[in-house]
Amino acid sequence: MILLCGIPSETPLRMVRERLDDLGVDYVLFNQRHFADSEAWFETANGEVRGELRIGPAVYALQDFNAVYTRLMDDRCLPELDGEGPESPLRRHCRGLHETLLRWMEIAPAMVINRCAAMASNSSKPYQAQLIEQSGLLTPPTLITSDPAEVRAFQARHGRVIYKSISAVRSIVHTLSEEDNDRLNRIQWCPTQFQGFVEGTNVRVHIAGNRVYATAIETEATDYRYAKRQAGEPAELREVELAEPLAEKCIALARRLGLVFAGIDLKITPDDRVYCFEVNPCPAFSYYEANTGQPISEGVALCLADADAHRATSDAVMNCAALA
């Protein structure tokens, strides 16, 4: 069986559900907004993980799930908890249910897109950059500091410099300008990441198992996600095909990070050097699919279906062998 977790109307989850429907593949949906009518428990014994998930009147054995796609939002922000105190029974039930599911996903023998442990590298951009370099991809010249003097010296060496956060918290990438000099002293209380600007074409690569979907982004904006705000018009997206060696490097990088599904941000320079800025472990791929028509959601659905079929076949073979 396949388990989907999240809010059904959230676009990436909705698109994967639709592709599973198109493929005729069955799945179970845990709508986290219906947490009040759901329960879960699990235990480990003799090397096995067993448990149950109840969703309304239906009860499912956790060990029967062979693949999981999770898009769980922070359960503390669910609208059903508005007005609930920090220790209210409803809030405690909600937190306990989500914590149980997340902990089960970490140790379940199922294929999970993606486990929390694998996604953790994105919480520290400097740490993730080291893993990227170990995978054979370039990273831009980088300075992480709380010293304004170091920033000015870095800018003198590299010319155009951009800045962004070093955590997983989403930030807008900006070019360091003369107007920013008056604010540089503020970094004394907030270490910030500065990078030498890399000229070239932005390419977002989605990896779904062994499937590769690459999108080139053309814009004058520093951060193409906010192109209309920064450059006055939206970015232009188009499907591109990566050279096989680069595609293999991207697949290897996702595997190195333990990610079944990943969004890798590259920039390819005019002389074909490839820089990698970061790897998104929970990519909201719908923006790219909507603009290019690439079947990214189908790639995710196929990963889930393949894992479910493989595990079910393997279990059947083992059961036949035991009977023999």
pLDDT, position 324: 39
pLDDT, position 298: 98
Q: Rounded to 5 degrees, what are φ and ψ at 139?
A: -125, 150
Whole-number average pLDDT of the chain? 91
pLDDT, position 313: 63
**Which amino acid makes up residue 174?**
H
Give dist(CA 278, CA 124) in Å, integer. 10
pLDDT, position 319: 40
- Does the pLDDT of residue 230 top 70, yes or no? yes
* Same domain, residue pair 262 and 177: no
Structure tokens at 10: 């959230």
Question: CB of 131 within 8 A of CB of 257?
Answer: yes
**Segment 93-110, tens digit of pLDDT:** 999 999 999 999 999 999
302 domain-assigned: no
* Same domain, residue pair 153 and 219: no
Confidence band of 65 (pLDDT split at 50, 70, 90): very high
* Same domain, residue pair 146 and 242: no
Give dist(CA 206, CA 283) in Å, integer. 8
CATH code of the domain in which 58 resides: 3.40.50
- Does the pLDDT of residue 323 top 50, yes or no? no
Confidence band of 248 (pLDDT split at 50, 70, 90): very high
The region that residue 211 occupies, defined by phi over 0 for left and psi between -120 and 50 for alpha, beta otherwise, is beta
* Same domain, residue pair 183 and 79: no
The region that residue 232 occupies, defined by phi over 0 for left and psi between -120 and 50 for alpha, beta otherwise, is left
* Same domain, residue pair 203 and 252: yes
Q: What proportion of the chain, given as a percentage, has pLDDT over 70?
A: 95
pLDDT, position 119: 92
* Same domain, residue pair 17 and 98: yes
Cis peptide before 114 (omega within 30 of 0): yes
* Same domain, residue pair 177 and 266: no
Question: CB of 106 within 8 A of CB of 117?
Answer: yes
Q: What proportion of the chain, given as a percentage, has pLDDT over 90?
A: 75
Confidence band of 312 (pLDDT split at 50, 70, 90): low
- Does the pLDDT of residue 185 top 80, yes or no? yes
- Does the pLDDT of residue 315 top 60, yes or no? no
**Segment 203-216, tens digit of pLDDT:** 999 999 999 999 99
Structure tokens at 73: 């939002």
**Segment 5-28, tens digit of pLDDT:** 999 999 999 999 999 999 999 999
User: 79, 114, 149: which is the final residue of a domain?
Assistant: 114
pLDDT, position 322: 41
3-state SS track over the chain: CEEEEECCCCHHHHHHHHHHHHHCCCCEEEEHHHHHHEEEEEEEECCEEEEEEEECCEEEEHHHCCEEEECCCCHHHCHHHCCCCCCCHHHHHHHHHHHHHHHHHHHCCCEEECCHHHHHHHHCHHHHHHHHHHCCCECCCEEEECCHHHHHHHHHHHCCEEEECCCCCCCCCEECCHHHHHHHHHHHHCCEEEEECCCCEEEEEEEECCEEEEEEEECCCCCHHHHHHHHCCCCEEEEECCCHHHHHHHHHHHHHCCCCEEEEEEEECCCCCEEEEEEECCCCCHHHHHHHCCCHHHHHHHHHHHHHHHHHHHHHHHHHHHHC
CATH code of the domain in which 225 resides: 3.30.470.20
* Same domain, residue pair 73 and 90: yes
- Total domains in the chain come to 3
Confidence band of 311 (pLDDT split at 50, 70, 90): confident
If you count them, how many residues does the chain have?
A: 324
Model-level pTM? 0.90
Give dist(CA 86, CA 89) in Å, integer. 9
- Does the pLDDT of residue 317 top 60, yes or no? no
CATH code of the domain in which 146 resides: 3.30.1490.20
Residue 174: domain span: 141-196
pLDDT, position 316: 44
Least Cα distance to 283 among 208, 174, 171 occurs for 208
User: How distant is the alpha carbon of residue 263 from its chain centre?
Assistant: 7
Question: CB of 260 within 8 A of CB of 124?
Answer: no
Q: Which range has the top average pLDDT, 67-71, 122-126, 189-193?
A: 67-71
pLDDT, position 232: 80
- Does the pLDDT of residue 236 top 70, yes or no? yes
- Does the pLDDT of residue 221 top 80, yes or no? no
